[in-house]
Amino acid sequence: MTRKVTIRDLAEAAGVSVTTVSQILNGKGERFSLDTRRRVHQLQEEMGYVPDFNARNLIMKSAQTIGVLVPNLGNPFFSMFIRGVQETSRERHFIPLIFGANHDEKLESYYLEELIKRAVDGLIIASASITAEAIDNILKKNGIPYLLIDQNGGPSVDRVQINDEQGGQLAADHLLALGHEKIAVVMPDDPTQNLQIRLAGFKHRLAEHHVNLPENAIVHSAMTKLGGYQATAAVLAQHPTAVFAINDETALGLMRGLHEQGLSVPNDISVLGYDDIDLDEYVVPKLTTIHQPVVTMGQQATGLLINRIKDQRQAAQLVDLPVDLRERESTAHLK
């Protein structure tokens, strides 16, 4: 059986102490000669030595890991968000441990507790079900830095802020400019705060143009492709000329449902989404949507969290990110 190369093996081969090797590999070898540092790194590569993670943690007093909890790994929005998390984590020499809770509160609590047991340095939580009580009982009591994305739970010290009010206004502006006044909205039963703000911006802009959005024009369904598909009948019962789906997944499912009912998008009904996920360019017709810089959100959230991990006493950090309209093929002028 092949034996794992140890730091002691590397130190003996380099002719230096274990402490010297440890300090050089941990970026603290400035006091050693350039030749010594080069020899250690060259032998590390030749011998295939990989530092022991647990031993390194004891020395550095940090696991250099962050936990990332999202509702659904299969949602393209969160896969794009995670891409940003991974990019910045690698740049800052952290490892993200990523979990999808499948919208299950018990599973979410389990993952949170397990991540804390494994001494992650901080957490990014993108979950609609996390509560202020859970934050107080699990995170604050354990002194773990965290950053919340897209949910109702109590505010975190640091924030990546998207102007959802403006996003809702842009959606309304677009449909109004196309002549639509009979509009339906598809959104979940218990919307998170950012979704409430998005809807408020949409309704406010409609009201400015004397267009009413009655309560029964808001169709409640899950924020998934299946949810959008299942909302088709309720949407059509409102006889709208246009639909604002609160996210792209919902819009895509709805478009499938409309197609099965023999309706053409956008000739018979316009559909507008929100997020600008990758799939929008690959459906027919291509989805018009409000663009959020989702990958950038992941990058910025990770950067803020790592900053907080390194200095928990620093002032609150706030990053504002823009939204804009991406007009494609799923919306058209009212005939």
Encode pLDDT of 175-214 as tens digits: 999 999 999 999 999 888 889 999 999 999 999 999 999 9
Q: Interhelix angle for 34-47 vs 18-25, to 10°?
A: 90
Asked whether the predicted pLDDT for residue 154 surpasses 70, the reply is no
Q: Over the Cα atoms of the chain, what is R_g?
A: 25
Whether 240 shows a pLDDT value over 90: the answer reads yes
CA-based diameter of the chain, in Å? Answer: 82
* pLDDT tens track for 107-135: 887 888 888 877 789 999 987 666 666 66
Do 122 and 304 form a contact (C-beta atoms < 8 A)?
no
| Residue 6 near residue 51, CB atoms below 8 Å | no
Query: Average pLDDT, whole number, for the chain?
Result: 89
Measured CA to CA, the distance from residue 156 to residue 134 in angstroms comes to 13
What crossing angle do the helices spanning 18-25 and 7-14 adopt, rounded to 10°? 100
For residue 16, what pLDDT is reported? 92
pLDDT at 254 over 80: yes
pLDDT for 152:
44
Residue whose C-alpha is closest to residue 124's, from 320, 321, 307: 307
Helix/strand/coil percent split, the chain, to 5: 45, 15, 40
pLDDT recorded at residue 57: 53
Q: What is the 3-state secondary structure (H, E, C) of 24-54?
A: HHCCCCCCCCHHHHHHHHHHHHHHCCCCCHH
Helices (H), the chain: 7-14, 18-25, 34-47, 53-60, 76-91, 105-117, 132-134, 164-177, 193-208, 225-230, 232-236, 248-260, 294-310
Structure confidence at residue 53 as a pLDDT band (50, 70, 90): low
Q: Which of 283, 246, 288, 292 is nearest to 269 (CA)?
A: 288
> Do residues 88 and 298 make contact, with C-beta atoms less than 8 angstroms apart?
yes
Rounded mean pLDDT, 157-173: 94
Please check the confidence at residue 317 and state whether its pLDDT lies above 80.
yes
CA 289 to chain centroid, in Å, comes to: 18
Judge whether residue 153 has pLDDT over 50.
Answer: no
Q: Hey, how many other C-beta atoms are within 10 angstroms of the C-beta on 6? A: 14
Structure confidence at residue 155 (pLDDT): 59
| pLDDT for the residue numbered 61 | 53
The model scores a pTM over 0.85: no
Distances (CA, A) of 12 to 6, 9, 16, 123: 10, 5, 6, 39
Closest CA to 283 of 334, 235, 245, 335: 245
pLDDT computed for residue 77 by the predictor: 93
**Residue 74, pLDDT score:** 85
Instruction: Among 3-7, 243-247, 294-298, name the one with the lowest average pLDDT.
Output: 3-7
Highest mean pLDDT, choosing among 5-14, 16-25, 195-204: 195-204
For position 45, what pLDDT does the model report? 86
> Model confidence at 54, in pLDDT bands (50, 70, 90)?
low
- What pLDDT score was predicted for residue 255? 98
What confidence category does residue 2 fall into, taking pLDDT thresholds of 50, 70 and 90? Answer: low
Residues 69 and 126 sit within 8 Å (Cβ to Cβ): yes
pLDDT score of 131? 64
- For position 280, what pLDDT does the model report? 97
Question: In this predicted structure, which of 12-21, 104-113, 226-235 has the lowest mean pLDDT?
Answer: 104-113
- Residue 324's CB is within 10 A of a number of other CB atoms, namely 12
